[in-house]
Structure 1
Amino acid sequence: MDHTQRRTHVIDALVRVAAAQGLHAVTLRAVAAEAGMSLNLVQYYFQTKAQLLHAALERLEQQSHARWSARLDGLPRPVTVHAFIEAFLTEALPTDEASRAFHLVWTSYAVLAMTDPDLAAQPFAAGPDRLEGQLTAVLRQAQREGTLDRQQNAANEAAHLLSLSHGLGTSILVGQRTADAAMEILRAHLERLFPGPAPSPQSRAGQAN
């Protein structure tokens, strides 16, 4: 393997350890064992646990973006703002192994960063800020098109939608509700936000693929 492949191999090993045992169980030694590599080799690529965790978050975010792009490509054209946002937030829920790993690592990282100065020093909020900005832009587009009330504060509503999605994602992770139940809550909110026709069953079938 070249250097890029080895880095990716180490990061994927961390995600497997974190998904199976929790982020608190992640050490460079545990990751090395999972990756089938020496500790010295892991430390060559990532000198600290904080560096490795941050790299893992970046990779998980890239993978999530790729899944989101594929989901968007599967939506019927033209894509309505309602369908776009529903697909956007659906991808953010932990409904399969890959998205569950993303949520588990991200949430655990956030909790650990509250008490770990090394983790807190990393630019942790960049991903959520970027998502909030994207949602705000889409909601403002909906206001220009007349499908969203112009009196709505688009930035506040974007923050509301992401907070709702994150809360529902956590409730799925801890077994409070099923993914289907979470989607019902999410769709009910979107139907109040966009009182026009909801996405068709064909559109939602595309989101599920």
Structure 2
Amino acid sequence: MPKLVDHESRRRRIADAVCRLAEESGLEGVTLRDVAARAEVSMGAVQRCFRTKDEMLTFALRHIGERISARVSARLVQSPAQSARTALGHATSELSLLREEHRAEARVWLAFLAQAAVSRPLAEILRANYTGLQEVFTQLVAEATPDCDPALEARTLLALVDGLTTHVLIDHISPAAALDVLDHHLRRLWGEPAG
């Protein structure tokens, strides 16, 4: 009897291997041979799951985006009675990937972000991710403070989060300093004294 293969599980396993390789060497370090070895599958198995390297990278980017989104959602669900301000603070701190346990994820995310500048399929996925996040942030800002342009503030927060992640990854600032910057910005947004 032929062996049954869970193709979706195998695709996720391959995507995890892509992410581990990208975290170590950037996307230029992701080769079919290395992905197969890291996922502990044959090169043929990788090729049956993904017709091209671009298709494999696109799936891996969606995979990591889903992991980050699930973690942000879980953080928001943990405190369902929280205010929009608290929810926005939790969402921005999770999304910024500043904690040590998220550093590998941050390196992978930024590797994909850099590649998206020259890859239309990756750029389309990132635009969709950012659009979804901007909608959530816009809603939370609108609920939290009616005296601003919620869409503009949502875009500002997304840019700030990405920028802080980058600065922490290159050791320009510490994670604690990045969280202070984020907290300072949110306090100003709410009209509270910073500090």
Question: Shorter-chain-normalised TM-score: which range?
Answer: 0.7 to 0.9
Partner deviation per Cα, 1:73-131 (whole Å, 9 max, x = no partner): 333x63112211110001012234663333222222222233346655x5431001110
1:105 to 91, 105, 108: 108
Could you tell me whether the CA contact under 8 Å between 2:62 and 2:125 is conserved in 1? Answer: no
* Match runs of 1:1-209 below 5 Å: 1-75=5-79, 78-96=81-99, 99-116=102-119, 119=122, 122-142=124-144, 148-150=145-147, 152-196=148-192
Could you tell me whether the CA contact under 8 Å between 2:23 and 2:107 is conserved in 1? Answer: yes
> Secondary structure in 1 aligned to 2:28?
helix
- The percent of aligned pairs where both chains have the same amino acid is 34
For 2:113, give the aligned amino acid: A
Relative to structure 1, the CA distance from residue 94 to residue 155 in structure 2 (aligned partners, 3 Å threshold; closer, same or farther) is same
Alpha-carbon separation, structure 1, partners of 2:119 and 2:127 = 16
1:32 to partner: Cα distance: 0.7
Alpha-carbon separation, structure 2, partners of 1:127 and 1:18 = 20
Relative to structure 1, the CA distance from residue 118 to residue 193 in structure 2 (aligned partners, 3 Å threshold; closer, same or farther) is closer
Could you tell me whether the CA contact under 8 Å between 2:61 and 2:122 is conserved in 1? Answer: no
1:169 to partner: Cα distance: 0.6
Which TM-score applies when normalising by structure 1? 0.82
For 1:191, give the aligned amino acid: R
Does 1 or 2 have the higher relative contact order (CA < 8 Å, sep 6+)? 1
For 2:43, give the aligned amino acid: L
Which TM-score applies when normalising by structure 2? 0.87
For 1:45, give the aligned amino acid: C
Gaps of 5+ in 2: none
For 1:94, give the aligned amino acid: L
Alpha-carbon separation, structure 2, partners of 1:178 and 1:48 = 38
For 1:162, give the aligned amino acid: L
- Give the paired residue count: 190
Alpha-carbon separation, structure 2, partners of 1:137 and 1:94 = 22
Could you tell me whether the CA contact under 8 Å between 1:93 and 1:99 is conserved in 2? Answer: no
Could you tell me whether the CA contact under 8 Å between 1:93 and 1:179 is conserved in 2? Answer: no
